[in-house]
Structure 1
């Protein structure tokens, strides 16, 4: 064990009581929105606060010191320019927890200070939705190591200045979870932990309002369980049973699990599938008011018991809804500390396919900014597909696409277009019908053209693919929030067709979840070195410039070059301009367009300054300029 004896957290009981006083009303307000109409509400809240006190008393001394440092000095640590993220499956990255510890120097070489380990908690055997069907929240996968090994790894990462993030799958459990097994055995207490519908008519009354997450591989939202003589709500796969948060016992149990893991050294919890967590008849059961109340409750309670911990919200919803997961109205800044900017991710891929930046510029300009005390998580690829639905909008905003345009984009990344074969080597995901767009699978390198270029032995095409990869990363490193490197992007990792075909059953997302390995072909090795060097340089430059703080003032200028995206950042006297060219042709930007007629100092990038007061960006070029 790496943790020292619990000392009652920062400042012991006195510190806990101070934080309880500070956040009590926020917690009670959120819990009241969830359970305030129940006759046992006072008892529920008393039990919640008692669990907080127990968790704080059990807080290891070293984590209490971290609480103190972040409360007193570094309250905005997750908004700082030097927070650089990396995400991976443990087995694919390093084999097990000890292997990850041995690879800390590799992470530090890229400037990483935040490590998201995917699906480390014990999931069901066999198909598990990539590890997101949790059988036990207090155990890890045996092949990765035990929970004590995870705790030791968290300590090693913390010593190296890296914060550990893991997934908190709180919308559902595996069918094999103890609660589900007890429900199957007939225990009413645990039947009440899940949504069980007893008639086909009752099921259809809900189903008629619901969309489908996996319309091909897992159509519908309910699974009939003969042992229960009922339909179980299963939003994702039949083996993932949705939890019933109308029952406060469920909330209390999941809170206890979160606090247990926080006291093992987890500093960031990815709140999985947040948008689905509350169900209401007559609605699509997405983005419900209580969905947000749940997050407000978790955040306030975390602030009381384990104040150095933050919540990262995964809400893959429409672009207009995403900002709401920071909190809206009177609750701004009271939900997720950080949240995935999935709309930006999808829009960047759209811009690359269409070679135009206009809609991405509109997206960044028109959507609400994140509230004070919050930050986006900006990324290019992750373990999931690229979901195109986030770019649909019923109000037809300037940043949105219609289904026909998204169909063309999805075709492009599947390798075809009206003009013929494209450079991309991806696959459609969960496309239900010929003209319905759902998602796209593939690694960054394969989608950006590196796979095809290497197959052709075409050095010029390899250079263009590397430029596409680096220009995309230049954008997420220059935007406000936490840039997140997906494992393998830094070395140009290609699609794994054998894994997708043989190792995953029906889940095509394993196409872009290969094991990390060094490229073998010389041309691939050269490309990988260039990508890795570019990302490491971006991390170094970003970390050294205060203007990249998440609370910087940001403007998105309108540029004459339609394929060039511009971003102007201002923070404490610094002014930085970031430019990125989505086109395979050079793009010119006038210094007057970016408010810098007297010129700029080049920090990083590939732009060339002309005597006529213009900057020329080469195909897929980028520049960061202090002006």
Structure 2
């Protein structure tokens, strides 16, 4: 665990000012020119340089030296596990929700041992969308706590903040100034004088994840105005075509870094740039904005990384890696959740295996964020190019049988298609009324989650996924928001009691999942830069061989995705390893080869992680030498 990055409370201008290299200045000017043209770019660059100098002046000398020695290839390691959570997921009578969360995570030893990074979903003052309609980018919602509470969390965990930069709340001071006719704010938003300002042809070409009208009518001092709202009438899109918007967002980005963010999640970054007549999704200008952010952090905060949240088809999603050095260091692996769900519904790994074999990692400084569940649901866009429509429809119908809701989006021609399955991951895998032992359901659940732990990348687990929560239908009935199926708030005392009861569902899930996470963090074979080889052993088995970056450690990960016992036989020539004795790190048992094949049997939903015994012995000797 790294110590928190230190910043001074005020900028120190007694030290030499930051001097940008010629290359950094040229690249920033290039991106700004692509966005705004030569003249405006030349006018904007000095303001951007000033922001970087201010941030640099805040840096503690210790941080300056630490950044200078920073190795981007070791930004992410096998130690990294990210817990995704709302700031108010836990409630108590005498503490703020954020302080309650901090106390809870420090109370349960298992959590401290398996988690090193917290993604706290938007904790800013907000008017809707569970925090994603931000009123004030620079404040903590007083109903959640304070910046002091964030600081406390940052003492024991690395932190991920949300950069909700695509839009702002209609209740924000910025938008209210626009409505009040303040000339300084008139170009902050994308507006039309009439609803037909956006033609039918332009509307049909538009890609967005909602079925509501993209233009929302507001009454301003200057009369009726129709404003671009990608997500909802309360979330007003910012106009990045105005360089002043870019500068304001850069100020916010750097403020988050000073307040403790090691990772900045670029929410809904797909839609940052609007150009009517195009898809208005993942445009060249959008990528240029991400490159500006990446270059800025590389100059003044190389320890801080970008992660892009782009719930789009896989090919488009991975484009946010850029060339491996100029855009996001981490990208959400949105194809993974629906592929794993489909795999367990069909009890067939064929599609998952074929896709995993095709994964490309563009550089040793980039990797995937491997998630199965999030605060939203199980997005389907990531598999549009991977699974056929029939397979997606099957998955949607099967999820419905498990009690899920389905969210839709408008596609070209005005039709609707499934966009997201709204469910908890536990309920997606297990029927509420199934005649099964809880231990069997937990075994199936943990087996599914193991896929995200063995694939190359950094695993992320949503809070309700870590404790195995079931669907919260009552909240959906109350709020009429389908995504609330997976957003239940809990009393910390009740959860603590449940976790202390080893027979309870949360306790069983945390114990079994915690075991895998604990093992994973001990072995360099799971390093994000370690190679992986995915095997097509059997449609019933997902098999991947992980290798440490320097090649001295191997772990063969096997997951049975079926409700039946499955025999396996792996040719040793395929593994490229001559050891005849192997050890199962999960099951604590030995496996022996006949010199030709590694053979054994996996019980229903078994998770087996095999390491050559010679490598394990060497690791033990090195530890105690």
TM-score (norm 2): 0.87
- The 3 A distance-change label for structure 1 pair 251 and 553 is same
- What is the DSSP-based 3-state SS (H/G/I as helix, E as strand, rest coil) of the residue aligned with 2:230? coil
* Mapping 1:546-557, distance limit 5 Å: 546-557=524-535
* Mapping 1:167-182, distance limit 5 Å: 167-182=162-177
CA contact (8 A) 1:445 1:451 kept: no
* Mapping 1:601-620, distance limit 5 Å: 601-605=583-587, 609=591, 613-620=598-605
Unaligned runs of 5+ residues in structure 1 are: 394-399, 416-423
Indicate which of 189, 205, 210 corresponds to 2:206. Answer: 210
- The 3 A distance-change label for structure 1 pair 604 and 221 is same
1:67 CA displacement:
5.4
Q: Which residue of 2 aligns with 1:321?
A: 316
- The 3 A distance-change label for structure 1 pair 13 and 549 is farther
Structure 1, 69-78 or 469-478: larger mean CA deviation: 69-78
Distance 1:385 1:9 in 2: 45
Does 2:470 match 1:494? yes
Q: Which residue of 2 aligns with 1:445?
A: 426
Q: Deviations over 1:386-417 (max 9, x none)?
A: 12122112xxxxxx2222221110110111xx
CA contact (8 A) 1:10 1:67 kept: no
Distance 1:212 1:220 in 2: 10
Structure 1, 195-204 or 516-525: larger mean CA deviation: 516-525
CA contact (8 A) 2:587 2:608 kept: yes
Indicate which of 280, 297, 301 corresponds to 1:302. Answer: 297
- The 3 A distance-change label for structure 1 pair 288 and 111 is same
- What is the DSSP-based 3-state SS (H/G/I as helix, E as strand, rest coil) of the residue aligned with 1:109? helix
- The 3 A distance-change label for structure 1 pair 194 and 113 is same
- What is the DSSP-based 3-state SS (H/G/I as helix, E as strand, rest coil) of the residue aligned with 2:470? coil
Q: Which residue of 1 aligns with 2:40?
A: 40
- The 3 A distance-change label for structure 1 pair 338 and 605 is farther
CA contact (8 A) 2:215 2:226 kept: yes
Q: Which residue of 2 aligns with 1:397?
A: none
Distance 1:565 1:10 in 2: 57
CA contact (8 A) 2:13 2:57 kept: no
Q: Deviations over 1:59-115 (max 9, x none)?
A: 3x3xx5345335415534432100111011111135522222212323743421100
Distance 1:262 1:498 in 2: 38
* Mapping 1:41-60, distance limit 5 Å: 41-59=41-59
Q: Which residue of 1 aligns with 2:69?
A: 72
CA contact (8 A) 1:104 1:157 kept: no
- The 3 A distance-change label for structure 1 pair 562 and 296 is same
Q: Which residue of 2 aligns with 1:396?
A: none
- The 3 A distance-change label for structure 1 pair 625 and 29 is farther
Distance 1:521 1:250 in 2: 46
* Mapping 1:568-587, distance limit 5 Å: 568-571=545-548, 572=550, 573-587=552-566
Q: Which residue of 2 aligns with 1:30?
A: 31
Indicate which of 541, 548, 553 corresponds to 1:564. Answer: 541
- What is the DSSP-based 3-state SS (H/G/I as helix, E as strand, rest coil) of the residue aligned with 1:557? strand
Q: Deviations over 1:220-279 (max 9, x none)?
A: 322122435332111101111111111111000111111122212222111100111111
Does 2:278 match 1:287? no
Distance 2:27 2:359 in 1: 27
Q: Which residue of 2 aligns with 1:408?
A: 394
1:136 CA displacement:
0.6
1:122 CA displacement:
1.2
Indicate which of 117, 122, 129 corresponds to 2:120. Answer: 117
Indicate which of 441, 457, 460 corresponds to 1:481. Answer: 457
1:438 CA displacement:
2.3
Paired residues in the alignment total: 584
* Mapping 1:328-367, distance limit 5 Å: 328=323, 332-367=324-359
Unaligned runs of 5+ residues in structure 2 are: 613-625
TM-score (norm 1): 0.87
- What is the DSSP-based 3-state SS (H/G/I as helix, E as strand, rest coil) of the residue aligned with 1:368? coil
- What is the DSSP-based 3-state SS (H/G/I as helix, E as strand, rest coil) of the residue aligned with 2:177? helix
- What is the DSSP-based 3-state SS (H/G/I as helix, E as strand, rest coil) of the residue aligned with 2:557? strand
- The 3 A distance-change label for structure 1 pair 255 and 434 is closer
1:542 CA displacement:
1.5
- The 3 A distance-change label for structure 1 pair 542 and 210 is same
Distance 1:112 1:255 in 2: 29
Structure 1, 616-625 or 65-74: larger mean CA deviation: 65-74
